[in-house]
Amino acid sequence: MTFQELGLSKELLQAVTNSGYTTPTPVQANAIPAVLNGDDVLAGAQTGTGKTAGFTLPMLHLLQPKAGKTKHIRALVLTPTRELAAQIGESVETYGKHLPLRSTVVFGGVGINPQIAKLRRGVDILVATPGRLLDLINQGKADLSQIEFFVLDEADRMLDMGFIHDIRKVLKLLPKKRQNLLFSATFSNEIKKLASGFLHNPTYIEVARNETSHQVTQVVYPVNKSQKRALLSKLISEGDWRQVLVFTKTKHGANRLTKQLETDGIGAAAIHGNKSQTARTKALAGFKDGSIRVLVATDIAARGLDIDQLPHVVNYELPNVPEDYVHRIGRTGRAGNTGEAMSLVSIDEEKLLRGIERLIKKDIPKATIEGFEATEKLSDLPKEKPQRGRNGGQNRGHSSRPQNSNRRSQGQKSGGGQRRSQGRGR
């Protein structure tokens, strides 16, 4: 299948061609016809699968006939993080550059007045994070009463960050007649309940959830915790890595590692929730243009960062939730490019590693570097049986539904699964 076969307008096809794309990804091939048909959509697709274009292109197509004829907000895309909001905003501009549609992005951490000014001039498409959107609504600066399209992107991350109450507030402000699209990398009971509350007989699409890209080479380096930083510096320096995204668990850990790498003569910057939006934007821009060699990030960057041909991702610390490993390494090996994902694993992360391997249904190859061999080898620990969760799933955070289930295939209606929820963020 080609994009020309999907029924998109010539203006959109021209923008797609100019972007260098000819063949839609599986999520695009399934979602675009469903959206063009007017269906609500419930899609299981992780970052890196092309889902942003999967909803942006058909939305632009259907909004096109009334372009420029109203100042009302006609489409709302709600997303959990500033970086993801900015990325979606860029996609809307890229694909809609030959259309007279107006769009803007609003999120916290930056001045609200320029955002108010853009809304006053009128926009067709608004991309927003929940906190800033509600601030604008409470000030009477954003009106959602004329919304034709509502997209809830990264719904599982939304719930993880504690946005459920904000989402419900937004839903109450939307008109009853509208088209709804929900995208989520995992389907928890909470996601299922949320979806059933506002999706109407949705087309269900599932594409490669919890699968790692075949384009990504994965390896685990068993190492003592005290030697992780030295090993990371050695890998970067001796491998002459010019661009590497490194994940830590905590904001403090990201800051500390950044300072240590700079002490080793390796240019680095940290990006996490405590950084100002200006600092986050500057760090990401420097990383993309090559002036910053290493970007050290918490999981706020696991979704939404789209860096062309990123060659290396390192898990300095494994995530507590196995699905987050998939999102982290999904920053590399995108759009047909190859990439490497390395994990520096100490003995206390053994259970986390096993949870990841159960999720992706394969053992990750182990390798050692001379002088950095772990005192205790991961294989020395006895194998443990998977723990059964409250809903019968293995390990908290795992999907309780069998992967690649034969009960539902692409294009069918419905959804299900299991996941956790944690503290609120903005």
The band of 363, judged by pLDDT with boundaries at 50, 70 and 90, is very high
Amino acid at 217: T
The CATH number of 3-207 is which of 3.20.20.150, 3.40.50.300, 3.40.50.10740, 1.10.3720.10?
3.40.50.300
Dist. CA 399–CA 126, nearest whole Å: 32
The band of 388, judged by pLDDT with boundaries at 50, 70 and 90, is very low
Please determine, looking at this structure, whether the domain spanning 216-380 carries the CATH number 3.20.20.70: no
**Segment among 34-43, 110-119, 266-275, 409-418 with least mean pLDDT:** 409-418
- Please tell me the predicted confidence (pLDDT) of residue 412: 41
Mind spelling out the 3-state secondary structure of the chain?
CCHHHHCCCHHHHHHHHHCCCCCCCHHHHHHHHHHHCCCCEEEEECCCCCHHHHHHHHHHHHHHHHCCCCCCCCEEEECCCHHHHHHHHHHHHHHCCCCCCCEEEECCCCCCHHHHHHHHHCCCEEEECHHHHHHHHHCCCCCCCCCCEEEECCHHHHHHCCCHHHHHHHHHHCCCCCEEEEEECCCCHHHHHHHHHHCCCCEEEEECCCCCCCCEEEEEEECCHHHHHHHHHHHHHHCCCCCEEEECCCHHHHHHHHHHHHHCCCCEEEECCCCCHHHHHHHHHHHHHCCCCEEEECHHHCCCCCCCCCCEEEECCCCCCHHHHHHHHCCCCCCCCCEEEEEEECHHHHHHHHHHHHHHCCCCCECCCCCCCCCCCHHHCCCCCCCECCCCCECCCCCCCCCCCCCCCCCCCCCCCCCCCCCCCC
Percentage of residues in the chain with pLDDT exceeding 70? 84
pTM above 0.85, yes or no: no
**Segment among 166-175, 251-260, 319-328 with least mean pLDDT:** 319-328
Is the fold of 3-207 the same as that of 216-380?
yes
Compute the Cα dihedral for 61, 64, 66, 67 and give only its sign.
positive
The dihedral formed by the CA atoms of 394, 400, 406 and 409, expressed in degrees to the nearest 10: -140
pLDDT of residue 386 exceeding 50:
no
53-85 pLDDT, tens per residue? Answer: 999 999 999 998 776 667 899 999 999 988 889
Q: Which residue has the higher pLDDT, 389 or 46?
A: 46
Residues in the chain: 426
**Segment among 86-100, 157-171, 332-346 with least mean pLDDT:** 332-346
175-225 pLDDT, tens per residue? Answer: 999 999 999 887 778 888 999 999 999 999 987 555 666 778 999 999 999
Residue extents of the structural domains in the chain: 3-207, 216-380
- Please tell me the predicted confidence (pLDDT) of residue 402: 33
pLDDT of residue 382 exceeding 80:
no
